Amino acid sequence: ETGVTQTPRHLVMGMTNKKSLKCEQHLGHNAMYWYKQSAKKPLELMFVYSLEERVENNSVPSRFSPECPNSSHLFLHLHTLQPEDSALYLCASSQGILGGTVDNEQFFGPGTRLTVL
């Protein structure tokens, strides 16, 4: 295990539902990330948080709302999703946010498989 956990592992929701994905890291890292992995597409970075502050929002629609209450927890609140939002959502953490050092290697959680009906 990588020290990053995600719940739930599977989620089915209707387009009018509101749900939340949870990520927790036990590595003492200061940065956390949300990625989207769709079928036949590369992983896409959605959000980056460093010390509970959002430092990157990668043009993600407002129906996805992240929350980082502390450096160990990251949430992704979902509302009014579309079927094309069905994907695997991966959380990751790293020691810091500056690219290019081995200390900033990202460790990934197991993901939440989301299906939007």
Q: What DSSP element (H or E) covers 47?
A: strand 44-50
Tell me which amino acid residue 40 is: K
Strands 64-70, 73-79: pairing kind: antiparallel
Site string for another protein, 1-40 (x = CB under 8 A): -x-x--------------------------x--------x
**How many CB atoms are located within 10 Å of the residue 71 CB?**
17
Number of residues that bind another protein (CB under 8 A): 30
Strand order in the sheet with 73-79: 4-7, 18-25, 73-79, 64-70
Closest to another protein by CB, 64 vs 89, is 89
Which structure tokens are listed for 80? 């009014």
Among the listed residues 17, 24, 43, 79, the single contact to another protein using CB under 8 A: 43
Closest to another protein by CB, 83 vs 100, is 100
Using CB under 8 A, list all residues that contact another protein: 2, 4, 31, 40-43, 45, 48, 55-56, 90, 92, 94, 96-102, 104-111, 113
